[in-house]
Amino acid sequence: MRLIDWSSLDADGRRVALARPQRRTESRVADGVRAIFDDVQARGGAAVTDWSLKLDGAAPRRIAITRDTVAAARDRLSPADTRAITMAAANIRVFHQLTVPVDTAIIETTPGVRSQLVWRPIASAGLYVPGGSAPLFSSLLMLAIPATAAGVERRVAVTPPTKDGEAHPAMTLAAAEGGLDDLWLIGGAQAIAALTFGVTLDDGEIAPCDKLFGPGNAWVAEAKRQAAALPGGPAVDMPAGPSELLVIADLAADPVIVAADLLSQAEHDADAQVILVSDSKAAIAAIVEEVEAQLPSLPRADIARAALSEARAIKVRDLAEACAVSNLYGPEHLSLQTESPEALVAQIAAAGAVFVGNCAAETLGDYAAGPSHVLPTDGGARTLGGITTASFMTTMSVQRVTIAGAAALAPVAARLARLEGLEAHARAADLRCAS
């Protein structure tokens, strides 16, 4: 981990200290995604198949989520595994069912002029679930369950196949818990292209989706960005690329736990980034030492070690400055491991998810606490939140006006329209006065 004294840095130095890994924005990624998109747009399903064979080693497949396929998936998992997935799904379901937005009360701004906001589900959602080196079935739960709670009618889930070209049994069970009818085994930028343009494949058709959701590596994140930039292209949830964790720790923090949390995110991806911020040199030294002690025993140590090349350990004056540094970075995950963590929450303005105190492991939020773990990365937390049921919905204002309300408000609207030079607008208001 790179050690940094925050107080010694100027503005440029601080910007560099909090920079994301450059690999996330390499031109080869953007160029590669553009080539895949151009090919899929030109050749449709044939291009998706070719890219899938080249990159994943398997052609796209549709897995029907039926009683038989779910039973077969359960048979391949231990009862303890099945219970854990079921419990996590139940917690996620409860949280999102209880946080579905509701229509506002009717608000009368002028006598006879009444308005409200109403919520409606989007028509279709494309759900990208990372598979690659680790089948993240938890992400399928975190996307499909809130989409179901929101009332989205068409939900298309895609995920890379396992090395043998199959679906991991936990992924099949997660699809069932999420209320899905099927699961497509397609990964990478070609999967995003399929959801964007719509394609016909050997196992069926994928129609274009209105909005794309889900985390992924740099290629998937770039594919979502390019999809959203297309004329008439789909909306996207947020930048949700390689994982990030920032930990604020003081001398009261347990170095073993902080190190374990940092490594839990570093093992995700070589492009993941972990940052430690502390007001104590002794705490930093103890935590860094513990990271080095725990690292060699990890099965994914090589990945974690690559991610640690972009890690930072930042020394600040006090915990108030630590919070300011965190807000500048806008982490996907923020862990507060200090003597009085609750006191810091009010100072946090930008984070995808905040984990308060020694017991609130980020891993609990990753799997089973309830809120979705699909969160903004790359500083997106400064303006965006994570996935909620509202992410799968839109609002409309509904306005109702009586004759008396029109008589009161139309002259005001007509005058303002003429002030802007929009005579047709003004006449449309005048007609309401005369009715």
Residues with catalytic roles: 332-333
In SS3 terms, the chain reads as CEEEEHHHCCHHHHHHHCCCCHHHHCHHHHHHHHHHHHHHHHHCHHHHHHHHHHHCCCCCEEEECCHHHHHHHHHCCCHHHHHHHHHHHHHHHHHHHCCCCCCCCCEEEECCEEEEEEEEECCEEEEECCCCCCCCHHHHHHHHHHHHHHCCCEEEEEECCCCCCCCCHHHHHHHHHCCCCEEEECCHHHHHHHHHHCEEECCEEECCCCEEECCCCHHHHHHHHHHHHCCCCCEECCCCCCCEEEEEECCCCCHHHHHHHHHHHHCCCCCCEEEEEECCHHHHHHHHHHHHHHHHHCCCHHHHHHHHCCCEEEECCCHHHHHHHHHHHCCCEEEEECCCCHHHHCCCCCCCEEEECCCCCHHHHHHCCCCCCCCCCCCHHHCCCCCCHHHHEEEEEEEEECHHHHHHHHHHHHHHHHHCCCHHHHHHHHHHHHC
